[in-house]
Structure 1
Amino acid sequence: MGDSSNIIVGTAGKAYAAIVGATFPTGPEVPWGVDFADMGFVTPDGLEEAMAEERTQLDAWGEDAPVVDLAKKRTQTFKLTFRETTARLLSLYYQVQMGKMTSTAAAADKKQFISFGSGSTQDTVEIALGLDVIYGGKRHRIMVARCGVSDRGARKHSPDDSSNYELTFTALSAPGGAQSVQHMITDVALPEVEDEEGTG
């Protein structure tokens, strides 16, 4: 018999960015540290999480089916569309380090403005990414130790919608051999696991 309380609907969520190497919270309801900056409003499409896997199968003489099935590589991606224009989102979209941006202060009748050149292929902008998916009292927290933007949607400048930033982040190997992606999900019971002999 199913249990409807186990159904998660992401009615709200937040995304946070920090420098690679930042310390993640120790639980799904622990506040994000000062190293993590809120990345702003996300469109109602929410978060799209995907897992791709490359596998190698080894055959054996006289066997009809593969005898070994090896995972060669797993690629995890996280796609969000942000509404706000901030220096960090400009940095990620145009692939230019924030340290290479220039801010000119307001003066007299001139507004403050930011200026930069689009990043070259030699530039790499990587972040630590924190994601919260929220439904009522439940929370699914995803922590990506190191990631980069692997795909970008086209930006549309029109009166019909905000000029959004559609970004797909790909998880990269974490510093120091740590886990590249960690998940924490509240109110999910872990059943007793039988040992390899099935004796409990």
Structure 2
Amino acid sequence: MGDAANIIVGTAGKAYRAEVGATFPTGPEEPWGADFSDMGFITPDGLEEALEEERTQLDAWGEDAPVVDLARKRTQTFKLVFRETNAFNLSLYYQVKLASMTSTAAATPKKQFLSFGSGSVTDTVEVALGLDVIMSGKRHRIMIARCGVSDREAVKHSSEESSNFGMTFTALAAPGGAQSVQHMITEVTLPVEPEPDPG
């Protein structure tokens, strides 16, 4: 029988970024470490997570169904639309490393400003990404050890909407053979598997 308590509606969420190799929290309700920076407000569309697989099926003589089904490649993507114009989002959207940006201090009457050139294809920006999906006490935490931006929405500058940065992150192989993506979800129980029949 179904249990409505198991339904998660992401009423709020946060995204955090850090340098690849940063240490993730060990639990879904622990605070993010000093290495992680809040990426700012996200549009109400929330997080769109997708998992795609490329598979190879092997047939056998006389069999009417495949005898082997192999996963060749698994691609996980995470799409978010950020409302804030900050250095972290600009770096990822334009593929410019923070170290390649210049901040010019304010000097009355001139305002402080950030300047950078368009990123080159060799100036790849990769980050560790932390995502929290939150609903009335429940939390689904997703930790991506290494990822890059694989798709970008057009930025619209108008009087009717904020200048948003829509980005799709693709999980990449993690350093040192670690798990590329790790999930932690509160209040989800693990069922007890029945013991195999020894007879």
TM bin (shorter chain): over 0.9
TM-score by length of 1: 0.97
Secondary structure of the residue that 1:119 maps to in structure 2?
A: coil
* Equivalence for 1:80: 80
* Equivalence for 2:159: 159
State the AA in 2 paired with 1:54: E
Displacement after TM superposition at 1:2 (Å): 1.0
Distance 1:31 1:155 in 2: 32
Secondary structure of the residue that 2:92 maps to in structure 1?
A: helix
Counterpart mapping for 1:48-87 below 5 A: 48-87=48-87
**Size of the alignment, in residue pairs?**
198
Counterpart mapping for 1:95-114 below 5 A: 95-114=95-114
Counterpart mapping for 1:1-200 below 5 A: 1-194=1-194, 197=196
**Greater Cα offset, 24-33 or 185-194:** 185-194
Deviation readout 1:80-118 (Å, 9 max, x if unpaired):
000000011000000011101111111121111111111
Distance 2:197 2:56 in 1: 29
Displacement after TM superposition at 1:190 (Å): 0.4
**Greater Cα offset, 101-110 or 5-14:** 101-110
State the AA in 2 paired with 1:161: E
TM-score by length of 2: 0.97
Secondary structure of the residue that 2:53 maps to in structure 1?
A: strand
Distance 1:117 1:141 in 2: 34
Secondary structure of the residue that 1:88 maps to in structure 2?
A: helix
Distance 2:28 2:52 in 1: 25
> How many percent identity over aligned positions?
77
Displacement after TM superposition at 1:194 (Å): 3.6
Secondary structure of the residue that 1:27 maps to in structure 2?
A: coil
Distance 2:103 2:15 in 1: 25
Displacement after TM superposition at 1:193 (Å): 1.9
Distance 2:49 2:104 in 1: 38
Deviation readout 1:98-140 (Å, 9 max, x if unpaired):
1011111111211111111110111110000000000001000
State the AA in 2 paired with 1:52: E
Distance 1:154 1:198 in 2: 58
**Greater Cα offset, 153-162 or 58-67:** 58-67
Displacement after TM superposition at 1:198 (Å): 5.6
Gaps (5+ residues) in structure 1? Answer: none
